[in-house]
């Protein structure tokens, strides 16, 4: 994967996809089994079966019901635990992470660095080093999103959200707003430039940082 955040997000997606596919296959196979089973029988009910309108006789221990409840609960709990584990991971950066403040506004992005440097539209971060994004908004709801890196952070006025990643592949990645935020939403585009650490250090020092 290109980044640690993409690895975590797509891992969660694969968990949902796998469990969803498994449930679909099991339910579909059971339905097909019952269709074929009862289609082969005569219209007249056999001994022990009931006709339309009759109440079924008392049944024994409800094994099928308990199994279905147990499996449903296990699947739901797996999805809940997986989701919250990934969210906790993405919101808990390493202590040595570079902090980059991202301020959304209609219709652009402002990147603020620890040395006070402010850049509009084009954020820069080092490759293979943890980066902590501190995200907020100046006006309305936005969402700081970099699809290739698995980044999606709500930018809410008066609230700070955190998200971290470590990008493994240098390059230029497109930043977009993932929240419908007004008539200029479609042009609210920026760049996240991932640089080799040595190149980033030179750029950072040129902005006034140590």
Task: At 94, give phi and psi (nearest 5°).
Answer: -60, 155
The pTM of this model reads 0.79
Question: Are 57 and 130 contained in the same domain?
Answer: no
* Same domain for 86 and 113: no
Instruction: Quick: pLDDT tens for 6-16.
Output: 999 999 999 99
- Judge residue 143's burial from the number of C-beta atoms within 10 Å of its C-beta, 0-12 exposed, 13-18 middle, 19 or more buried: buried
Claim to verify: residue 111 and residue 200 sit in the same structural domain: yes
User: How many structural domains is the chain composed of?
Assistant: 2
The answer on pLDDT for 61 being more than 90 is: no
Domain end position, chosen among 90, 109, 132: 90
Confidence class for position 77, pLDDT limits 50, 70, 90: very high
Tell me the pLDDT tens digit for each residue of 95-142.
999 999 999 999 999 999 999 899 999 999 999 999 999 999 999 999
Q: Tell me the CATH number at 160.
A: 2.60.40.420
Tell me phi and psi for residue 199, to 5 degrees.
Answer: -70, -40
Q: Do 156 and 126 have their domain in common?
A: yes
Q: Is the predicted pLDDT of residue 145 greater than 90, yes or no?
A: yes
For tokens 């109440």, name the residue: 55
> Is the torsion defined by CA of 14, 176, 168, 111 positive or negative?
negative
Calculate what percentage of the chain has a pLDDT beyond 90.
68
- The secondary structure element, H or E, covering residue 145 is strand 142-146
- 166 and 117 co-located in one domain: yes
- Rounded to 5°, angle at Cα 194 from 193 and 195: 110
Flag whether pLDDT at 42 surpasses 60: no
Domain that holds residue 65: 4-90
Query: Last residue of a domain, which of 90, 119, 140?
Result: 90
- Band of pLDDT at residue 40, cut at 50, 70 and 90: low
Q: Does one domain contain both 63 and 125?
A: no
86, 115: one domain: no
Report the pLDDT averaged over residues 180-190: 93
User: Residue 144's closest CA among 134, 156, 152, 136?
Assistant: 152
92-103 pLDDT per residue, tens: 889 999 999 999
């Amino acid at each position: 994967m290109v980044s640690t955040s993409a690895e975590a997000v797509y891992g969660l997606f694969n968990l949902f996809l796998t469990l969803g596919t498994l449930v679909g296959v099991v339910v579909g196979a059971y339905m097909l089994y019952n269709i074929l089973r009862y289609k082969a029988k005569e219209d007249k009910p056999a001994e022990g079966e009931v006709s339309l309108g009759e109440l079924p006789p008392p049944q024994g221990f409800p094994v099928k019901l308990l199994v279905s409840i147990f499996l449903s609960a296990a699947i739901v709990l797996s999805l809940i635990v997986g989701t919250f584990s990934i969210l906790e991971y993405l919101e808990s950066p390493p202590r040595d992470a570079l902090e980059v403040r991202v301020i959304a506004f209609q219709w652009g992005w402002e990147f603020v660095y620890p040395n006070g440097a402010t850049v509009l539209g084009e954020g820069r971060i080092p490759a293979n080093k943890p980066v902590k994004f501190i995200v907020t908004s100046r006006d309305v709801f936005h969402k700081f999103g970099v699809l290739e890196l698995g980044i999606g952070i709500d930018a809410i006025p008066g609230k700070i959200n955190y998200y971290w990643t470590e990008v493994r592949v240098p390059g230029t990645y497109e930043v977009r707003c993932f929240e419908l935020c007004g008539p200029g939403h479609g042009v609210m585009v920026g760049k996240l430039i991932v640089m080799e650490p040595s190149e980033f250090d030179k750029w950072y020092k040129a902005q006034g940082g140590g």
